[in-house]
Structure 1
Amino acid sequence: MNLEVCSNGVHSLRFGKITTAEVRCLMCTSAVVQFEDGSSEGNASSVEEKVLQWLRAYFSGDHQQAMTAELPPICVLKRRDGFALKVLQRLLTIKFGQTASYSEMASKCGHKNSARAVGRVVSENPAVLMIPCHRVILKSGKEGHFSGGKLDALKKALLSYEKTTVFSENNSKLVDNANM
């Protein structure tokens, strides 16, 4: 996983390698930090620490902790406007363990016939996981592609992880209540 931050927040959180073209922001001086096995190289800034805390909460297996963890500031949201910003902001409203279709997203952004445009914005999401583009699926209920089709198995695994985590917690609450 690769992370790019500046003092204003996250520029990029991606699976795979970040290219030189991707790591340059016209508005900020950014530093690229690569994460391996949950640790960063060099000294972590406060933004990087917030990202690490958020990732730990996300992968903790406790969906309540993941949902209530403070999202680090995302600089790229400050640099977007119009339809793309609406889509990215709408992505932030899809809760852990839930999904929405591209057409639902288009409607909620005020452009009901723009499912393909939603797909374009989602495919260019610079902060995967944090801006949960993996939760957008096809109207048919199938997962669809992730990262231009290169990480489809990862999308399926993330959706499964989120649903299993929520289901396990709800199931354990039912068992606890039944034993009372």
Structure 2
Amino acid sequence: MCETSSSICSSPIGDLIISYCQKGLHSICQISTINDQSFIPDENQTIEIQSSSGKIPIPKSCLNWLHTYFHSPNHLAKIPELCPNIVSKNDSFQENVWRTLLNNVHFGQTVTYGQLAELAGNKNAARAVGTAMRCNPFQLLVPCHRVIRSNGDIGNYSGGKRNNVKYWLLNHEQK
């Protein structure tokens, strides 16, 4: 079991909760109060630690990656280390989908659920891809916002509660 710490950081899409241990990140997501009604993006908002708990400082690689994603995306580098206890190297379909998305769908690109299922090795598993996206603990890093429906609709980001966030992220990546 990992000894985890967490931090809340400001970002252009609102405050993010980041959980991590010595081995890497456990999760990154927006605070629970952000939804389509409360979402007020601020492109000029810097990445700053608002608060932290636990013994381990937030990995600088995470802060640097977030800053680059929002403010200098042409210079994006490898994502921060993910804790192997969260994303193991086993062969679960869900983790395979996350790795496939991370490695094959780059900044500014989109992919349909069906295309991602095929890339992940099971062309008939579009619904399972949707489940993997819903369970993704690494918002932005494993870019589930880049997965759309085959008809071009964005789908239901965060269960349909943060579709405006998904629109914003997709637009941000098209600039």
Same fold (TM over 0.5): yes
**For 1:54, which of 33, 54, 65 is the aligned residue?**
65
Structure with the bigger percentage of helix: 1
1:122-161 correspondence to structure 2 within 5 Å? 122-161=133-172
Q: Which residue of 2 aligns with 1:5?
A: 20
The SS at the match of 2:19 is strand
**For 1:82, which of 69, 72, 92 is the aligned residue?**
92
1:126-166 per-residue CA deviation (whole Å, 9 max, x = no partner) reads: 000001010000011111111111111100110011012xx
The SS at the match of 2:26 is strand
Q: Retained in 2: the 8 A contact 1:10–1:47?
A: no
1:34-113 correspondence to structure 2 within 5 Å? 38-42=48-52, 45=56, 48-60=59-71, 62-66=72-76, 69-75=77-83, 76-78=86-88, 81-92=91-102, 93-113=104-124
- Shift in Å, 1:41: 2.4
Count of aligned positions:
144
Q: What is the rounded CA distance, in whole Å, between the counterparts of 1:17 and 1:157 in structure 2?
A: 18
The one-letter code of the counterpart of 2:19 is E
- Shift in Å, 1:40: 4.3
Q: What is the rounded CA distance, in whole Å, between the counterparts of 1:143 and 1:106 in structure 2?
A: 16
Q: What is the rounded CA distance, in whole Å, between the counterparts of 2:101 and 2:58 in structure 1?
A: 21
Gaps of at least 5 residues in structure 2 are 1-15, 34-45
Q: Retained in 2: the 8 A contact 1:14–1:128?
A: yes
Q: Which residue of 2 aligns with 1:119?
A: 130
The one-letter code of the counterpart of 1:100 is V
Q: Retained in 2: the 8 A contact 1:123–1:148?
A: yes
Q: Retained in 1: the 8 A contact 2:47–2:66?
A: no
Q: Retained in 1: the 8 A contact 2:47–2:63?
A: no
Q: Retained in 1: the 8 A contact 2:134–2:158?
A: yes
Q: What is the rounded CA distance, in whole Å, between the counterparts of 2:154 and 2:137 in structure 1?
A: 19
The one-letter code of the counterpart of 1:157 is W
| Percent of aligned pairs with the same amino acid | 35
Gaps of at least 5 residues in structure 1 are 19-35, 165-180
Return structure 1 stretches of 4+ with deviation > 6 angstroms: none
